[in-house]
Amino acid sequence: MALKGLLSIKKNGVLAAMGLGGKYGPSIAPGHNGSIALGDTEKLTMLVELERSGLGWFWSTDAAGNLTYVSEAIAERIGLPLEKFIGQPLVSVFESKDGDGRTQSLSLKMGARKPFSGFAVAPSDGNREVVIRLSGRPASSDSGVFLGFRGTGADITEEYHREEETARLARFDSLTGLSNRHRMSHSIETTLTAFRAAKRNCAIMMMDLDRFKQVNDTLGHAAGDELLRQVASRLKRAVDRDCEIGRLGGDEFQIMLPDMDDRGELGEIASKIIAMLTQPYSLDEGRCVIGASIGIAVAPHDGVTREEIGRSADLALYAAKNGGRGQFRFYSGDLANEAIFRRRLEGDLLEAVREGQLFMQYQPMLSVDTNKVVGLEAQVCWSHSQRGEIDAEEFQSIVENSPQLIEVGEWAIARACAEASEWPAALRVTVNVPVKQFMSSGFVESIRDALTKSDLDPSRLELEVNESVFFGDSNVVDKTLGQLFKLGVRLTLDEFGTGYSSLSYLRRAPFDSIKIGEAICTPGLERGSREHGLMVAVAALARALNMTTIACGVETMAQHNALKDSGVGCVQGPLYSEAVRIDDVHKQLASGGAWSIEPSADHLARARRRTVLRKIQVIHEDYSYEVTLRNLSRSGALIQGLADVPNGTQFVVDLGGGQLAVATVVRSAGDTQGLEFENPLVDDGAGGLCTRYRVSPYELAAAGAPLSALAPGDYKTMPGGGLNSPTSIPKFSYAPVGYSDAA
């Protein structure tokens, strides 16, 4: 097109858009043939070049707000022909990029004929990734007639997305895409503040991954990062309700669940999370299995500020991890004292070793073909003067980071050797060796001394070591393995299949056995499953290398049958027997015959249960009575201490911490009553039971109580519990000494 024609078009477009004529700029003096003076021609050429460069572009509308001109360069950038723009309302062609209502604000500005600037918009059609900053001013004729808007635009796509990414990184974890610590803190703070005014509930879950450090140590940090991404993905699938999930750093996660105080449902969510995160992970570096521990606190019951509820959730998580990991715990008022007491336990450990408070229990290891006991795995327990008996699992969690770890380990080997020396020669003893103890300078000497003092045949001592020992100093590891081989003790590679499980370990060390970890030997193991195929392959590999295969943690008959078919040599787990004391071992061996154990689900049913024997309050009419809670089940309880209570009597049972359960007396004998709950109790995550709901502190505050979780039994201001000013004579009397406690 001739320059003169092009410039004539531009006169009505660019010049009008830029206001280079009339009221908003110098007048353009056309020649006799409609051409433009040379100076204005140069200006217009510069504007055309500016449009083509993409650094700036122009637009104009008529008085109705419909586009009359749009630079061709931006149409090309968006990917639509000019015809899609011309004649369309500006506010319908573009939409607010941030979805914050600014498009409506732009419409209001134009309707009021006000100038505007800095509106970030994206095309409503075409390439929506393009972001444009719009500015405009109203234009009018010399006589004051409104002509429309004239404006400019700039492509800010890269700048916008860069700023958007910077803002995202400030709020979200770059590795997992979950909310980061700062965003979670802000979200919890604002939510609790708003919910406090609205008297609403909010649950907070704190979660740590179990055995994550082992993955980092064995597979490397790249594998650890990929594992965290997979954990984040599973977490999003596990919680199928409104929530916010964040990664606070490392392997620590947090979940906020608004309007949630149902501990039955919270327990189900926590159990689902733990179950999903415990399933095996496939990484480029290998296959691994981890676990998770979860602490749960609910506002306002366990705190009303972010700091309070966070501290409560942390204490619950600490209790879950100390309880054996792989479980959840609800916060309760006694957890703070429990945490303090646990720190004291760690300090008491040295005294425990030196004063003989530690003792051994042994879990039988059976031949899967004959059900005969071929070995016993030693487990250290603690008889504490105040805490009572601390089992092997809890003791392990106490000692694992203790300075006394090596001393306890040496004691365990010496005691196991001494006690095993009294057993039949065909029965061997197994002791797990922590990495720190294995790498210590006097480890081999302590083994030699224990064997010498007990006069135990070295071939009857089996030491279990984890594959993570191979990530220590290779010279120390190889030297120690060589010395143990010369001593003649047996070596077992523990938790095979949990970490890297490289075959080079089996070539490098003279192992006698492979103990298969929970990564393969899961409770759901069945014939024909993928895990069963892996089990068959591992057993075949072990046989080819003249090694025994041991499967641990067996809980079901389906597991047992699948293991038997796969060629595994030995098994252990609660399906056969829990750990037993040395006196029980001697009783089993006293007959002189072979010790055999038939697998049975009855062994699982006989698992140790938590004893319930404590004082509680029961409320009837307007009186509260103190009674002894003798046992507790989901559906009811047995209480003792009141006389002549007829069947059908209703009590409100105060289990403490806002836990009130309506119950009816269904049987009564002397001073003992059997109660049936109106609503069943739910699991508390620690092997105990709790009420599904608690009385809200907001309700207590409305009745005159302070806005905090009340002490156990302190419900005097509740309707029906006016203990300060009773209106009737107590209906029941306390039972005198001598009443029968049979129900």
Q: Please provide the DSSP assignment of 684-701 as one string.
A: -SSSSEE-SS---HHHHH
Q: Per mean pLDDT, which range of 5-19, 499-513, 723-737 is the poorest? A: 5-19
User: What is the pLDDT, as a whole number, of residue 235?
Assistant: 95
Angle between helices 212-219 and 221-238 (to 10 degrees): 140
Kindly indicate the confidence band of residue 706, based on its pLDDT and cuts at 50, 70 and 90: very low
Query: What pLDDT, in 10s, does the model give residues 575-617?
Result: 899 899 999 999 998 877 789 998 876 665 444 434 456 788 8
Of the chain, the percentage scoring pLDDT greater than 70 comes to 82
Residues in a beta bridge with 122: 95
How do beta strands 513-516 and 548-551 pair? parallel
Q: Per mean pLDDT, which range of 101-115, 426-440, 703-717 is the poorest? A: 703-717
Query: What pLDDT, in 10s, does the model give residues 490-508?
Result: 999 887 766 555 566 676 6
Q: Which helix (H) or strand (E) holds 68?
A: strand 67-70
Mean pLDDT to the nearest integer, 47-71: 82
For residue 320, pLDDT beyond 80: yes
Mean pLDDT to the nearest integer, 199-213: 92
Q: Which helix (H) or strand (E) holds 119?
A: strand 116-123
Of the chain, the percentage scoring pLDDT greater than 90 comes to 35
Q: Which helix (H) or strand (E) holds 450?
A: helix 443-454
618-630 b/e (C-beta count within 10 Å ≥ 16 → b): bbbbbbbbebbbb
- Residue 312 CB contacts under 8 Å (≥ 6 apart), including other chains: 204, 297, 302, 303, 331, 335
Looking at the domain 172-333, which fold is it?
Alpha-Beta Plaits (3.30.70)
Q: Which helix (H) or strand (E) holds 222?
A: helix 221-238
User: Between 1.20.58.2030, 3.20.20.80, 3.20.20.450, 3.40.309.10, what CATH number should domain 340-605 receive?
Assistant: 3.20.20.450
For residue 455, pLDDT beyond 90: yes
User: What is the pLDDT, as a whole number, of residue 29?
Assistant: 38
Kindly indicate the confidence band of residue 519, based on its pLDDT and cuts at 50, 70 and 90: low
Q: Which helix (H) or strand (E) holds 46?
A: helix 38-53
Q: Which residue has the tokens 């105990």?
A: 688
Q: Residue 736: is the preceding peptide bond cis (ω within 30°)? A: no
Mean pLDDT of the chain: 81
Residues in a beta bridge with 288: 281
Residue 722 sits at φ, ψ, to 5 deg, of -75, 75
Query: What pLDDT, in 10s, does the model give residues 156-205?
Result: 888 888 877 777 767 788 899 899 999 999 999 999 999 988 889 999 99
Q: pLDDT higher for 579 or 713?
A: 579
Query: What pLDDT, in 10s, does the model give residues 239-275?
Result: 988 899 999 989 999 999 999 999 999 999 999 999 8
Q: pLDDT higher for 290 or 473?
A: 290
Q: Distance between CA 266 and CA 609 in Å, rounded? A: 23
The angle at the Cα of 71, spanning 65 to 77, to the nearest 5 degrees, equals: 110
User: What is the pLDDT, as a whole number, of residue 39?
Assistant: 64
Per-position DSSP letters for 188-217, written without gaps between them: HHHHHHHHHHHT--EEEEEEEEETHHHHHH
Contact, 119 vs 59, CB < 8 A? no
Tallying the residues shown for the chain, one arrives at 743
Q: Distance between CA 325 and CA 210 in Å, rounded? A: 7
For residue 280, pLDDT beyond 70: yes
For residue 332, pLDDT beyond 50: yes
For residue 741, pLDDT beyond 50: no
Give the E-state strand segments of 605-736 in sequence order: 614-620, 623-632, 636-640, 642-643, 650-656, 659-669, 672-677, 682-683, 689-690, 733-734
Burial of 38 per CB tally in 10 Å (0-12, 13-18, 19+): exposed
604, amino acid identity: L
Q: Distance between CA 506 and CA 494 in Å, rounded? A: 12
For residue 574, pLDDT beyond 60: yes
For residue 15, pLDDT beyond 60: no
Q: Distance between CA 270 and CA 288 in Å, rounded? A: 21
Superfamily of domain 3-162: PAS domain (3.30.450.20)
User: What is the pLDDT, as a whole number, of residue 365?
Assistant: 95
Kindly indicate the confidence band of residue 1, based on its pLDDT and cuts at 50, 70 and 90: very low
Contact, 621 vs 396, CB < 8 A? no
Tokens linked to 384? 């504490």
Ramachandran sector of residue 278 (left: φ over 0; alpha: ψ -120 to 50; beta: rest): alpha
User: What is the pLDDT, as a whole number, of residue 623?
Assistant: 83
User: What is the pLDDT, as a whole number, of residue 502?
Assistant: 58
16-37 b/e (C-beta count within 10 Å ≥ 16 → b): bbbbbebeeeeebeeeeeeebe
Q: Which residue has the tokens 């708003």?
A: 194
526, amino acid identity: E
User: What is the pLDDT, as a whole number, of residue 505?
Assistant: 66
- Residue 427 CB contacts under 8 Å (≥ 6 apart), including other chains: 373, 374, 375, 376, 420, 460, 589, 595
Query: What pLDDT, in 10s, does the model give residues 129-156?
Result: 888 888 999 999 988 899 999 998 888 8
Contact, 637 vs 280, CB < 8 A? no
Q: Distance between CA 335 and CA 341 in Å, rounded? A: 10
Q: How far is CA 30 from CA 4, 12, 95, 150, 259, in A?
A: 11, 13, 39, 22, 72
- For residues 469, 475, 481, 486, the Cα torsion angle rounded to the nearest 10 degrees is -170
For residue 691, pLDDT beyond 70: yes
Residue 494 CB: number of other CB atoms within 10 A?
23
Q: Which residue has the tokens 């210590």?
A: 440
Q: Distance between CA 166 and CA 238 in Å, rounded? A: 29
- Three-class SS state of 264: helix
The widest CA-to-CA distance across the chain, in whole angstroms, is: 129
- Residue 325 CB contacts under 8 Å (≥ 6 apart), including other chains: 210, 291, 293, 397
Tokens linked to 442? 């006097």
Tell me the domain boundaries of the chain.
Answer: 3-162, 172-333, 340-605, 614-734
Contact, 492 vs 515, CB < 8 A? yes
User: Between 2.40.10, 2.60.40, 1.10.3470, 3.40.50, what CATH number should domain 614-734 receive?
Assistant: 2.40.10
Q: Distance between CA 724 and CA 743 in Å, rounded? A: 32
Query: What pLDDT, in 10s, does the model give residues 541-550?
Result: 888 888 899 9
Residues in a beta bridge with 551: 516, 571
Contact, 427 vs 362, CB < 8 A? no
Kindly indicate the confidence band of residue 337, based on its pLDDT and cuts at 50, 70 and 90: low
Query: What pLDDT, in 10s, does the model give residues 629-672?
Result: 888 888 999 999 998 899 999 999 988 878 889 999 999 988 89
210, amino acid identity: D
For residue 520, pLDDT beyond 70: yes
**How many helices (H) and strands (E) would you count in the chain?**
24, 33
Per-position DSSP letters for 471-505, written without gaps between them: GS-HHHHHHHHHHHHHHT-EEEEEEETTS---HHH
Query: What pLDDT, in 10s, does the model give residues 301-318?
Result: 899 899 999 999 999 998
For residue 8, pLDDT beyond 60: no
